[in-house]
Amino acid sequence: MRVLITGAAGFLGSHLCDRFLAEGHSVIGMDNLLTGNTRNIAHLAGSPDFRFIRHDVTQYIYIAEPLDAVLHFASPASPIDYLKLPIQTLKVGALGTHNTLGLARAKGARFLLASTSEVYGDPLEHPQREDYNGNVDAVGPRGVYDEAKRYAEAMTMAYHRFHGVDTRIVRIFNTYGPRMRLDDGRVVPNFIGQALRGEPLTVYGDGAQTRSFQYASDLVEGIYRLLHSDFSDPVNIGTQDELSVAEFARLVNDLTGNTAGITFRRDERIKGDPQTRRPDSTRARTVLGWQPVVPLRDGLERTIAYFRSVL
């Protein structure tokens, strides 16, 4: 297969490039480097099956070669990124999804959209099943990301139903691993960075809010299976390893040997920060035969080693 991956220089995009190349496919990676970094794909330079194009997917995309699949992973994805880049976030979810779908249609390629657990907003149902419609505040600070991805899902289904494009939608839950940006503001790089510097971990609010953390390779496996399935409705990919943010902070301090403790920052929680988040993964299990295999402690140890090497 020849696949186009947008957001290729980002955290997840770069891991997907690696996986498709390892499976013997040919990959075109596209990124405008707004939040991505070529460091993440530097090891692919010179590979005969990989080509990088610096391009903003909100502009018309021209690819000469035939394509078998288009995976749309370009987007600012951490809360502080999309608060800083609200218009670009809306544009890449809206115009970027339209352009990548148009490209997939023109090439007769399969299309896979990176969607998010944020489509459930601050959920009133727990855990979140794919048929839960969510509790999103369109005009809150997170609305730019949540609504962009909800629009992207609607656009994807419209191309599927109206144009017959073969489409897939993955709803990605919190994912961590090597190549996350140390300064992207998310809880995993923030905590590990603080711990490795011997600083107290900053827990926003009272730390009772929960997240379920999956290791990047588990997510990539789920995405790879989804692309090769024939299932066009959204599929959650995430773990059942649900922890409160305060528990997560204690775990990071424990694994790094950080003795500086935890500081609670009651004022820093962004409005709309979901109180709970955990996927119902029945669909991924039954449709894809997928389940995560990397235990949280192992994944965190590998991620800590990575951040040590970049610090």
Catalytic residues: 145
Work out how close the CB of 71 gets to ligand UDP at its nearest, in angstroms, rounded to a whole number.
21
Contact indicator for 277, 129 with CB cutoff of 8 Å: no
Work out how close the CB of 291 gets to ligand UDP at its nearest, in angstroms, rounded to a whole number.
21
In terms of CB distance, is 211 or 225 closer to ligand UDP? 211
In terms of CB distance, is 43 or 197 closer to ligand UDP? 197
Task: Indicate whether 175 belongs to the interface with ligand UDP (CB under 6 A).
Answer: no
Task: Indicate whether 269 belongs to the interface with ligand UDP (CB under 6 A).
Answer: yes
Task: Indicate whether 177 belongs to the interface with ligand UDP (CB under 6 A).
Answer: no
Stretch of residues binding ligand UDP (CB under 6 A), selected from 46-54, 94-102, 179-187, 291-299 = 179-187
The residue ranges of DSSP E strands in 91-230, in sequence order, are 110-116, 167-172, 175-176, 201-204, 210-212, 214-215
Task: Indicate whether 181 belongs to the interface with ligand UDP (CB under 6 A).
Answer: no
In terms of CB distance, is 99 or 116 closer to ligand UDP? 116
Q: Give CA torsion, residues 298, 304, 305, 311, to 10 deg.
A: 170
Stretch of residues binding ligand UDP (CB under 6 A), selected from 27-35, 52-60, 84-92, 184-192 = 184-192
In terms of CB distance, is 195 or 235 closer to ligand UDP? 195
Task: Indicate whether 172 belongs to the interface with ligand UDP (CB under 6 A).
Answer: no
Q: At what angle do helices 245-256 and 187-196 cross, to 10 degrees?
A: 40
Matching residue, tokens 């192992």: 298
Task: Indicate whether 125 belongs to the interface with ligand UDP (CB under 6 A).
Answer: no
Stretch of residues binding ligand UDP (CB under 6 A), selected from 123-131, 148-156, 181-189, 213-221 = 181-189
Stretch of residues binding ligand UDP (CB under 6 A), selected from 24-32, 133-141, 185-193, 236-244 = 185-193
**Nearest in space to 245 (alpha carbons), one of 214, 213, 281, 216:** 213
Number of residues located near ligand UDP, criterion CB under 6 A: 15
Supply angle C-alpha 36, 39, 41, rounded to 5.
Answer: 85
In terms of CB distance, is 123 or 234 closer to ligand UDP? 123
* Alpha carbon distances (Å) from 30 to 6, 14, 41, 215: 5, 10, 11, 23
**Nearest in space to 288 (alpha carbons), one of 213, 224, 196:** 224
* Per-residue binding letters, 209-248, with ligand UDP (x by CB under 6 A): x-x---------------------------------x---
Helix, strand, coil fractions of the chain, as percent rounded to 5? 40, 20, 40
CA 247 to CA 292: how far, in whole Å? Answer: 21
DSSP 141-177: TTHHHHHHHHHHHHHHHHHHHHH---EEEEEE--EE-
Task: Indicate whether 14 belongs to the interface with ligand UDP (CB under 6 A).
Answer: no
Work out how close the CB of 230 gets to ligand UDP at its nearest, in angstroms, rounded to a whole number.
30
User: Where along the sequence are the contacts to ligand UDP (CB under 6 A)?
Assistant: 78-79, 174, 185-187, 190, 202-204, 209, 211, 245, 269, 273
